[in-house]
Amino acid sequence: MMKSILFTTLFGSAAAAKVATLTANNWKNEVTDSGKGTFVMFMAPWCGHCKALKPDWEKLAKKNKNNEAVTIGMVDCTQEEQLCGQNGVKGYPTIKYWKAGKTSSIDYQQGRDLGALSTFVENTFKASCDAKTKKGCNKQEISFIEKNADKSKADLEAILKEKQVALKEKKDEKKARDKVRREEDKVHKKAETALRKAEGILKNMIKGAGGKSEL
């Protein structure tokens, strides 16, 4: 209880600042299954750097309160120790982000002023294409929508299945290429090691040969 009071006193109301208060209870809805990207600051109320970052983090959240592509969130690690541990948090503040639909986080390693944070959000989180309103759609996506606009539900489901099969094939091809590349790298590394050893041995032999002359 005291920790909650301390958090509210030092950091104010996250809801009022449009910062999403993330906990183990709402993590799945707010992050994993939200359909949006998530930009999260893991903090502790006693952390001086967290207090310094707080005003810009709240301004960032306010600026993006209507952004359908990202949620700006905060986790109090004194209240959510297990959640912070599961996300590899070892110091404060730690900033991580999740792309929409992804369960694995990426460490944020850029500037921590409002300008740098805002630029990162703008460049990283893009609203997905809305087939109904065409909001967030590029020219290619709009063309695809218009091309299939008059198709029946059954036809659309057939196209979806076709695209999913093609996508899986592409992923499998990439995995296969990556495997071949890893094997090739191993072969090259082994060959380089052998050549390096031969080079060292030959230099040593030449040095030991000294002034020996050929018979």
Helix (H, G, I), strand (E, B) or coil at 4: helix
Q: Is 137 a catalytic residue?
A: no
The DSSP line for 102-159 is --S-EE--S--SHHHHHHHHHHH--PPP-TTT-TT--HHHHHHHHHHTT--HHHHHHH
Q: Which two tokens stand for residue 10?
A: 């030092």
Q: Is 129 a catalytic residue?
A: no
Give, rounded to a whole angstrom, the gap between the first and last alpha carbons of the chain.
Answer: 93
Classify residue 105 by burial, with Cβ atoms within 10 Å: 0-12, 13-18, 19+.
middle
Measured at the alpha carbon of residue 156, what is the angle toward residues 32 and 69, in degrees to the nearest 5? 30
Nearest to 61 by CA among 79, 40, 76, 75: 40
Nearest to 58 by CA among 8, 116, 13: 13
Residue 21 phi/psi, 5-degree rounding, is -80, 110
Q: Which two tokens stand for residue 174?
A: 């990439």
Q: Are the CB atoms for 137 and 130 separated by under 8 Å?
A: yes
Catalytic residue among 47, 84, 129, 137: 47
Would you please indicate which residues are annotated as catalytic (active-site) residues?
47, 50
